[in-house]
Every structure is written in structure tokens, then in C-alpha cells.
Structure 1
Amino acid sequence: MEATKLLVKFCVLLVVFVACTTNNKKSNLPWEKHGKLIVNTNSRIIQHKDGTPFLWLGCTAWGMTEWLSREDVDIYLDDRKSKGMNIVQLCLFWGKRKDYPTNFYLNPENQYGDKAFVEVDSFPNVLVPAIKKGGSTTNPNDYWDHVDYCLKAIKQRGMYAAILPFWGRRYVNATHKGQSKQVFTAKNIKQYGEFLGMRYGDQPHIIWVNGGDVKAGQGGDFVSIYRLFAEGLAKGITGKDIKWNEKNPAWDEFLMTYHPDGAPLINSSEWFHNDPWLDFNMIETHVNRDMIPASIRKDLAMKPIKPTVIGEGHYEGETNGRIAKAIHIRRQLYQTFFSGGAGNTYGGGFDEQGNGPLFSPTNNWKHLLEWEGAGQIIHIKKILQENKWWNWQPVLGLISEGKNEGELEKLVVKSEGNYLVYFPEHTNCIINLKNIYSLQWFNPKTGELLAEAVSEDNKFVPPDDWEDAVLILMHK
């Protein structure tokens, strides 16, 4: 009897010890460690509630919930996280199964044969999501259970999900001739937003992305329809009826932007910059690599200032007949932040054999994870964090000769009295320096850091054999 009592006491103490240890263990999940994501008034960065800056380094997996099995979801996420990416951009109703030729499905099945919506006369009724009882993330039995699994897998890795509720180009504006049809209308889109808000509104790792590769006003009065979606989402998340143009603190309960098409100077700010629901702007430059500085400057010149993110650039590999190599990926990344951007999203296209695309992983895609440009993202993450990128202020006029333009434009930022200059190619320039600085060269390709003396004539050129470089000029 005495032995039994001692055993019971030991078990109780063990349970208390484990509980205390678990409760006192510090979380590495960013939303638990630093609070939810917010955007302060007239700020060009996204940050956590405790003031910690949020560095957006994303990746595109648009068709994840349709194309990938649960095992492949885990493979994809583990790789992207290991390469420094912290956001996955995905679309809950993507609909494109193949690119060449492009196949279009009104109500596409996922890898398990499940569809998102109940059909009436072979047409998806978006007011009736196809939900079966009894499923879970560990034992999914319908389309939305698989979505739940994908979002949980992202969350478990401490990553964020930037969710497009639909691909607007196909299912709202329906501007993709022969490959689109309007499914979401003014009569049902608000209810769909409410459904998503109720189902996922309590998830701290979700960022909402309205739109979907389309100019909001293209083909008709669709601006009002996207605003209806924002109202519905707010109702689902907050339980409050809020009008799209109403300044209400309830909008601050979640983060939202809009994903445009690839016209680089016509972005979310074109239609929604002053809408209270739009927390930050998003740009798609796609194959227009030379337009990144100009598009970011255009957004940041607007009032009030809002952060702007390159949500879709040129994909590594082949896209629409154009090739992007690692050097092009690096230029996009560095020019984003050196122009004042708050984030950049990486994507991969097809390889020379036609495998892929990686931007919506399919067709022998796994070896594409090892593309060179993706592996070099970890280096920009390092230099951004070590040099307090959130304090960077773009500087014009410091380069007197050799500045160039577009994709080859050399860019300068100032941070706490120091200057950083991005050289997108191996050419020289003259920098007007009034003070004496110590100098370091950073290699974006390898992460290598070199120190050398300041040039006497203020002419600088990257070290031999470097494709691009960052010059760090520091007070002695």
C-alpha cells in the first residue's frame, strides 16, 4: 500500500513537472514570440505587434491544395524553409492543371479526387462547399480537410500562408479567353468570404490576398466584387458587418492585400490603395525584371505610405519563352529591398526538359527545388538582418557616374549612417563620398564578405569574377 502511494505521488509530481516545463518553454513560432502581423500608419514595413520587423521572403505554390499529396506538401515545405523562405503563397481555388496546353476545370479535383464545391448541373455552387462529416487534418476526407492539412503543415514549420481565395483571372473577371468562366459574382462572393473567415479566421499565420493575377477592373465592374469579398471575409473573422470604405478597427484583426497581373506599374495601389482593408500593396512584375525599382517607387510615392511587396517576379527557369537564371533571381531580390520594398516572393518555372512548373508543383518538380537562385536566398536574408534592413532609406544622387537603369540600375540605401550599394553587374561607378569610410564587399552568390581599402578616386568595381555585389560603406 505504501509503495502504491509513493508511486501515485511520483506520477503526480511528474505530470506537474512536465506541465510546468511545457508552459515555460519559449516558443519559436513568430506569432507567439512577437505577436500578430500589423502595419502601422505611414510605414513601409510589415511588423509584429511587439515592433519586431517582419521580413517577407516568400515562395509560390499556387496549386498546392489541388496538385500535391500530403507527403509532397511536407517535402516542398521542408525544402523551402531550409532555404530561408518564410511565406507560402497558395490559391484555394486555382483550377489550372496543365500549362502546355492550358487545361481549365470549373471545379477541379485535388490529388484525392475531392472537389471544393457541390455541383448543380455540372456547375460549382460556391455557396455550398463540399464538406463531409468526420474528417480532420490527420484523416482528411474532403477537399477542405486537405486545405486544412496544408495550412497546418505551414503553421507547424513557423511559416506564413499568403492565401488567395480564388484565381480572379479565371473565376471572377474570367478574362483568360477559353480558359475561364465567372464562378464568383456579386451574389455569392461575400458569402464565400464569410465561409473562409469563419473557418480560418483564428489562424495567426494567415495573410489574405484578394484578386488573383488580374487587373481588378478588367472586363467590367469587378472592383466592387473584390470589395464585397473583403466585407465577407471581415464578417467571417470578426462577426461584424463592415463596409469596404468604412474606417473600423475590426479591419486590423487580419492582414490583407491584392494580387494583380504582370503589368508592373498597374498594381493593387491602382484600385485599392485608400481602402481600409488593404494593409499593404502587392506588385507582380513577372517577366518584366527591369521594372522592379520603378514599380516600388511608384507605390511608395503614394499617400498614405503603405508597405509594398513583389508578390510575383520572373520565375527561375523558363516562363513564357524567357529564361531567368540565378543572377536574375538575385537582382530581383536585392533591387526589391534596395528600392524600399517590404518583401519579395520567389518562384520557379520549367526546366529545359519541360519539367514543372515549380510555381505550382507538378510534373517531375522535386529536382527543381535545387535551382541555384533559390539556394542563394539565405544569403540575402543574412545581409538584410545584419544590416537592419527595416531602417534602410533609399538614396538618390550618391552615384555620379555608372548608375545605369532598369534591371542593371545600381541602388543605394542608407542605414544608421552607413551606406550599402547594390551592383547588379560587374561594372564600375563613381560614388560621391564626403566622409571617410571603411569598406566591405559582400558576394550575393556565395555570402562571402571581403574587406579592402577605399578607392582614392571614389571609383568602385566589384572583385574579379563576381557577377553582382553589395558594397558596404561604414563609418570608421
Structure 2
Amino acid sequence: MRVSADAHFLETSNDRPFFWLGDTGWELFHRLSFEEIEVYLEDRYAKGFNVIQASIIAEHEGLKKPNRYGALPLTQNKPETPNNNYFALVDTVVRLAATHDMFMALAPAWGDKVTGKPGSAIFNKENAYKYGKWLGNRYKNDENIIWMLGGDRAPQKDTNDWRPIWREMARGIQEGSDYKAFITYHSTVGEKSSTSQSLHKEPWLNMNTFRSGNTSKDIPVWTYIERDFKLPSPKPTIDVEPNFEDYPVNPSPRWTEQKDGYFDDYDVRRQCYRSVFAGAAGVTYGHHGVWQFYSEREEPITFADRSWTNGLDRPGAFSVSYLRKLIECRPFIGRIYDPSLIVEGQGEKGEYITAFRGKDNDYAMIYMPVGKTIKVKTKFMKSSDIKVWWYDPRIGLMVRGISLYRKDVLELTPPTKGVGQDWVLVLDNPDYQYRPPGK
């Protein structure tokens, strides 16, 4: 993995553009057998996911409760002495993922192991460096690893500053990997907790992340990304935890199923599509039963209404797989977020529309959370005609395509209207002879 030349997107070392479509599987190494991991990875690969986020040392009893093979990650809870028996499973899974062209975004340890209370926090600057160097050296030849420090914890809060510890862990990983490592950070939820606000200037940080999270719907992720794009020495930006499907909406303090309900696939699409259309280098999906791998064998870490196996085929997982196909069907490195394309019909919050155009002004895509008539500026496109496609993100298909004489402003209406009827409008310069969207 590496950053593209324009510093906003991702590519691989063989010069292929890379769209990050992640899935959240934090408890993977802690709760699953290898056979179960095979099932999970096969499913995610088939759906088009190419990044799996997992924590080596888990948050929930990760230091006390062994994995399915009776191994703990550390000997006597000392980061200086990792347990090879535990890491044998990590080794095998990393290499299995590589056979599917999938990256593993590995948290070396959940954030509470640095920022938590005594007994939970086990890292200091010295042992964080040693542990990081051990990891970097062990996996320096595994090219499908992304190191994701943090783990749901801000790197600094009030008078507490844990950045020196994370800095040493990152230094160890870099030295151990001969400086080939790609490193990012998973912070806590909220705009101010974005890595761009606290870690952007760190030389070890290759990519910014933020979490729009599970407290409410329609967090304005497009404003986070627009802010990050304008930073000096920009870096790619990704929402690594938007609304999790089947997660209780605003779960505290007095959540009820009837009043508050759960996030559904429509909530997932609104956040994921709008963050990507605003310029994110990708997005990470999550399902509430899957990330914790809840089953009859395991107690839920937080309330889940279904097991991980039952959660694999939820509609939101398919929705984001369609998103990847849609983005990859056009040249997407260098695409330009351009809300000015919406001349009339822009909404707020749940109805806010995001739009971008290709760097060569050869195409544009517009995500509409609510189906309605809008007016779109097409002056950026120099062709005399224009192809207009309506793509249904609920089923991943183009359902209508027409050619029109290009006016500077076009009034366009999707096939269906209303809340829950979200659409993607794709505009093409016919001279480029692009295939229908999603192909």
C-alpha cells in the first residue's frame, strides 16, 4: 500500500489504483477458529471487501482470555515477550488474506492497552518500541499488512498525551520492517478526534482517519473530508467506522428498540456513499454482530440482535460492495469533490447531496439520499452531448440510461422519488465511451 502522487488517494506498489473497502472484524484472532476465519474471509472476498480491520491484542479480555487454541498474545502480559503460539494464527491468517488480494489492517493492540487504567494499560515508550520492532520484523515480508495504531482511543485527551507511546510503537514498526510499513491510526468518535486534528504532522502517519460512529445518523462526513483536503501536506482520509448495520441507534443512556431502533442499510449507504463522493480514499463497513463475532459460544460484548454468521449477508454489506464497483468503473484517482454541480435541490442533513467529477472533466457522479428532481451544472463537460445514467445503489444496477443534448444546466428526475429512494446520477462525456455504471 502507498499514497498516490496527488497525496489524496491510495495505490499499490505495482501502480494499481486502490479503493479501500474495509470490513470490521476486531475480535477475529481472539474469538474465531481458523476454519471460521476461512468462512469469514471467503465471504468478504466474494463481496468485494479488500481490507479487514482486526486487533492482534483484543479489547475485551484480550490479555486474560486465550484464543480458540488456548494461547494468550503475550507471556506474563509483557509486550517485550510476545507468545509465538498466539502469533502462529496471525501469521496464517495474514497469508490466507494475501491469497485473496486482501489487506489486513492490524491494530497491534487495542487503544486501552496504552490509554487505559492500570492493569489494562501495559505499554510505555520503551516496551512499545520493542513490541513494534518485533512486529515490524516478523511481518516485514508480508506486503498485505497495514498497521492501524490506536483502537478507539484518542491519542491525547485533556492533559493526557499518549502520542509519545504511539510514536515509539510506530518507530519500532518502521525500523523492524526496514521502513516499508504503511501506518495509520484508529481514533475515537467525533470530528475533533480525527487524526488530522492531532496526528497529521506525525511523519509516521501515512493516512488520516476519522469515525462518524454510531451515536446518530447523518453526521456531516463531507465537511470532515473537505477540511482534510485543504490541510498543508495533505494525506488520504477515510471514515473507518460509520454507522454499523444493526447497531442500536444512540445506544445510551436509555435506548429502546421501539423508540430508537437500529441502523439499517439505508443509514449505511448515506454515510458511506457521501464520504466517498466527498473525496475519501475508501470506507470501512461494519456489522454489529460481525465485528465482535457474537455466537452461541460467545457472550455479546455489547448487545447484538443476531450472530456473526447471520450478519454476513445483511443488505448493507452488499450496498458497499456495489459502491466499490461503481467507483472503480471510472478513473477515480484525482477525482474532484464539487458540490457546486448541484444548482438546485440541495438538501440538509439526511438529504444532503454529494457530487464529484473526474480530474479530466470526463464524467461526474452525484449521490442523492432522497429521490427528487434536481438541476445539475454540466458546463465543466466540453462535449455537445451527454450520457445520463441512473444507478440504483440498493441493488447495484444501472436502471436507466439516455443521451441528451448537453445544456449548461440540466433538470433531471430519478426513476423513483422519496425518502429511502436513494440514487446515483452518473454523467458521461460520450467521447470516452465508458461502459454503463458498475460494469
Q: TM-score range by the shorter chain?
A: 0.7 to 0.9
Contact 1:173 1:218 in 2 (8 A): no
Contact 1:265 1:295 in 2 (8 A): no
Contact 2:8 2:234 in 1 (8 A): yes
1:370 and 2:370 correspond: no
Give the SS at the match of 1:323.
Answer: coil
Match of 1:71 among 25, 31, 35: 35
CA spacing shift, 1:225–1:470, aligned 2, 3 Å:
same
Which residue is 2:372 aligned to?
427
TM-score (norm 2): 0.85
Distance in 2 separating the partners of 1:395 and 1:40: 20
CA spacing shift, 1:458–1:55, aligned 2, 3 Å:
same
Q: How does 1:280-295 map to 2 (within 5 A)?
A: 280-287=207-214, 288=216, 289-295=218-224
Which residue is 1:234 aligned to?
174
Which residue is 2:66 aligned to?
109
Which residue is 1:345 aligned to?
284
1:325 and 2:264 correspond: yes
1:174 and 2:143 correspond: no
Residue-by-residue CA offset, 1:378-430 (whole Å, 9 max, x unaligned): 32222111122224211132212221133431111111322221111123322
Residue-by-residue CA offset, 1:345-368 (whole Å, 9 max, x unaligned): 11101xxxxxxx211212232011
Distance in 2 separating the partners of 1:406 and 1:233: 41
1:225 and 2:178 correspond: no
Alignment RMSD: 2.1
TM-score (norm 1): 0.78
Which residue is 1:87 aligned to?
51
Q: CA deviation at 1:40?
A: 4.2
The count of corresponding residues between Structure 1 and Structure 2 is: 395
Which residue is 2:274 aligned to?
335
Q: How does 1:259-298 map to 2 (within 5 A)?
A: 259-287=186-214, 288=216, 289-298=218-227
Gaps of 5+ in 2: 256-260, 296-306, 431-439
Q: How does 1:320-469 map to 2 (within 5 A)?
A: 320=251, 321=255, 323-349=262-288, 357-363=289-295, 364-415=307-358, 416-417=360-361, 418-434=363-379, 436-449=385-398, 450-452=400-402, 458-464=410-416, 467-469=421-423
State, as a whole percentage, how many aligned pairs show the same letter. 26
Residue-by-residue CA offset, 1:9-30 (whole Å, 9 max, x unaligned): xxxxxxxxxxxxxxxxxxxxxx
Q: CA deviation at 1:105?
A: 5.3
Match of 1:164 among 98, 107, 131: 107
Distance in 2 separating the partners of 1:172 and 1:208: 16
Q: CA deviation at 1:310?
A: 1.4
Select the structure of larger CA radius of gyration.
Answer: 1
Distance in 1 separating the partners of 2:364 and 2:99: 38
Q: CA deviation at 1:42?
A: 4.3
Distance in 2 separating the partners of 1:463 and 1:40: 37
Give the SS at the match of 1:73.
Answer: helix
1:475 and 2:429 correspond: yes
Which is further off, 184-193 or 383-392?
383-392
Gaps of 5+ in 1: 1-36, 97-103, 132-141, 239-249, 350-356
Contact 2:98 2:144 in 1 (8 A): yes
Residue-by-residue CA offset, 1:117-172 (whole Å, 9 max, x unaligned): 122xxxx12211223xxxxxxxxxx211122222122122221100100111x211
Which is further off, 433-442 or 409-418?
433-442
Contact 1:95 1:108 in 2 (8 A): no
Q: CA deviation at 1:458?
A: 3.1
Distance in 2 separating the partners of 1:258 and 1:91: 12
